[in-house]
Amino acid sequence: RRLTGFDRVLIYQFDPEWNGTVVAEDRNDVLPSYRGLRFPAADIPRQARELYRINRLRLIAQSDYEPARIVARHAEAPTPDLSLSTLRSVSPVHLEYMRNMGTGSSMSISVMRGGNLWGLISCHSRAPHLVPFETRATCDLLGQVLSLQLTAREQADALAYRMELGGVLGRLLAAMARHDRFEDGLLREAADLLSLTHADGAAVVSHGRAHVVGLAPAVAQVEALAAWLSQTDDEADVIVHEALPSVYPEAEAFKHVASGLLAISLSRLHNSYVLWFRPEVVRTVRWGGDPAKPLESGTGLRLHPRKSFAAWVETVRGRAQPWRGPEIEAARELRTHVTNIVLQNAERLAALTQELTRTNKELEAFSYTVSHDLRAPFRHIRAYAELLKSDKGKLLDDEGREFIDHVLSGATSAGRMVDNILAFSQMGRVALAITEVDLGEQAADIVSTLKTRATKRNIVWDVGKLPVVQGDPNLLRTVLQNLIENAVKFIRDREPAHISLSATETATEH
């Protein structure tokens, strides 16, 4: 301000939506303070921002100047491009904007970051003010130095932050390597999982089932959020929201813990995500006038800028602290590593499955051959024993007949065992027919059959209520029949025998 002689010099920084905030200021008492005020993006439209980007300095020495027309020597002469001209006239709307602000002159120096417009050094005076060329050149140089320093400082800070997050990521990778499931490694190192993005809460969702750590929504709310993410049309691997309730209305119920969302998609098909949450940060924003009224309609097609720049206070809710670039990159890098781990596990599982399939086929062939070859000898033993008992039983004493009964019993038991082995060997070749199965009906039918076969036994049956389940009816009947027949078999020495069949349900299992 001392260099240029303006009444007020301020630094005006753009946000991602191109609203501008006055972050620094120096002034005398001629013009009011704008420090801390925010101005809507419409105050500096896109065309004006583009001019600021390609022309680093612009001076308006007098807001009520009369522009001079440019007259072409020839009618067919092309329209000249005055983008880089110091004498280029400005929009009448902007001149009216200046007069409404009470400024008679202004000068702007662009502050750049990597070729993009970061902000402006804006100079204002109440009265007209002409800045000499040498001073303007010095201000241009200062703007370039500030741009370089700003870029270097931000890059250094970002690099240091990336290195910090890289250390956190390394610890998470080591934790995942120590566990069979990557989810366990992430959840066991909850502090590092939160530190990776500086979040207050996180969740790991695998196949629609969520596990949460820190300050996060309830498990059911996280699972519903993951289901919503999997149904959206956005195919992005990294999802970023700073105002989640604005796109997902259900988040209004838990905005105090999750107004901000950073998520990485591991599998949309299987509804698997890692999510980080940030709570709502209620902020009071002081605008330089009502941001909802940047322009006013005039007569005809003429637009007029707003006239009031008095502080207008807005309370912003439903928004979280923005996610920084290094945090988003760290999340993306974690996704890459997790995806690689999942793919490696899938490859190992596929190889193991292939080996098991081959082994199972060999075992099935072996068991089928053995059981098939053994059935005939046991049938012959039983048949000849029965012939011996019926034809020559009268010639034998009691001990001889007892021996024959043992042979018959052993041959019958061995034959049943071979039949079971044969049935088991064929099980892998039969597709499961999954349907609803009433275990109560199956148990009642099995018990009824056993009652007719075991008429000489005194058995008290107590069959309770059994559930309806999903499964293969034939296999489930085999399971029940084996259980009940074993019960009958192992209580031969009890008179009367008591057999109870029931089912209980707990909170976690049936």
Q: Flag whether pLDDT at 89 surpasses 80.
A: yes
Of the pLDDT bands very low, low, confident and very high (cuts 50, 70, 90), residue 301 is very low
Distance CA(504)–CA(510), nearest Å, equals 6
Are the beta carbons of 337 and 185 closer than 8 angstroms? no
Q: Which among 7-16, 171-180, 342-351 has the top mean pLDDT? A: 7-16
pLDDT digits (tens, 9 = 90+) for 337-393: 888 876 666 667 777 777 777 777 777 777 667 666 777 787 778 888 888 888 877
Pick the closest to residue 22 from 37, 7, 32 (CA basis): 37
Q: Provide CB contacts within 8 A for 244, sequence distance 6+.
A: 251, 255, 258, 259, 260, 261, 318, 320
pLDDT at residue 296, as a whole number: 53
pLDDT at residue 233, as a whole number: 59
pLDDT at residue 5, as a whole number: 96
Are the beta carbons of 16 and 34 closer than 8 angstroms? no
pLDDT at residue 126, as a whole number: 94
Distance CA(203)–CA(222), nearest Å, equals 7
Q: Provide CB contacts within 8 A for 12, sequence distance 6+.
A: 20, 21, 22, 23, 39, 119, 120, 121, 122
Min mean pLDDT across 13-22, 78-87, 133-142, 278-287 is at 278-287
pLDDT at residue 22, as a whole number: 92
Q: Count Cβ neighbours within 10 Å for each residue of 141-174 and write b for 16 or more, e otherwise.
A: eebeebbeebbeeeeeeeeebbeebeebbebbbe
pLDDT at residue 300, as a whole number: 45
Per cent of the chain over pLDDT 90 is 28
Is omega for the bond preceding 496 within 30 degrees of 0, making it cis? Answer: yes
Q: Flag whether pLDDT at 299 surpasses 80.
A: no
More confident residue, 336 or 474: 336
Min mean pLDDT across 21-30, 272-281, 474-483 is at 474-483
Per cent of the chain over pLDDT 70 is 85
Phi-psi group of 289: left, alpha or beta (phi > 0 → left; psi -120 to 50 → alpha; rest → beta): left
Q: Flag whether pLDDT at 302 surpasses 60.
A: no
**Both structure tokens of 203:** 């969740």
Are the beta carbons of 447 and 424 closer than 8 angstroms? no
Average pLDDT of the chain to the nearest whole number = 83
pLDDT at residue 453, as a whole number: 66
Are the beta carbons of 467 and 508 closer than 8 angstroms? no
- Counting Cβ atoms within 10 Å, is residue 457 exposed (0-12), middle (13-18) or buried (19+)? middle
At residue 55, φ and ψ (nearest 5 deg) are -125, 105
Q: Which among 125-139, 171-185, 374-388, 473-487 has the top mean pLDDT? A: 125-139
Q: Flag whether pLDDT at 8 surpasses 50.
A: yes
Q: Provide CB contacts within 8 A for 110, sequence distance 6+.
A: 52, 53, 55, 56, 57, 117, 120, 143, 147
- What is the DSSP secondary structure assignment for residue 179, as one 8-state letter? S
What is the residue-wise DSSP string for 391-404? HHGGGS-HHHHHHH
Q: Flag whether pLDDT at 507 surpasses 80.
A: no
pLDDT at residue 149, as a whole number: 93
Helix, strand or coil for residue 433?
coil
pLDDT at residue 467, as a whole number: 87
pLDDT digits (tens, 9 = 90+) for 203-247: 999 888 899 999 999 999 999 999 898 888 567 789 999 999 999
Min mean pLDDT across 19-28, 360-369, 458-467 is at 360-369
At residue 273, φ and ψ (nearest 5 deg) are -145, 160
Q: Flag whether pLDDT at 305 surpasses 80.
A: no
Q: Flag whether pLDDT at 304 surpasses 60.
A: no
pLDDT at residue 25, as a whole number: 96
Pick the closest to residue 306 from 46, 90, 33, 97 (CA basis): 97
pLDDT at residue 347, as a whole number: 65
pLDDT at residue 267, as a whole number: 80
More confident residue, 226 or 411: 226
Helices of type H across 232-324? 244-247, 255-258
Partnered with residue 47 across adjacent β-strands are none
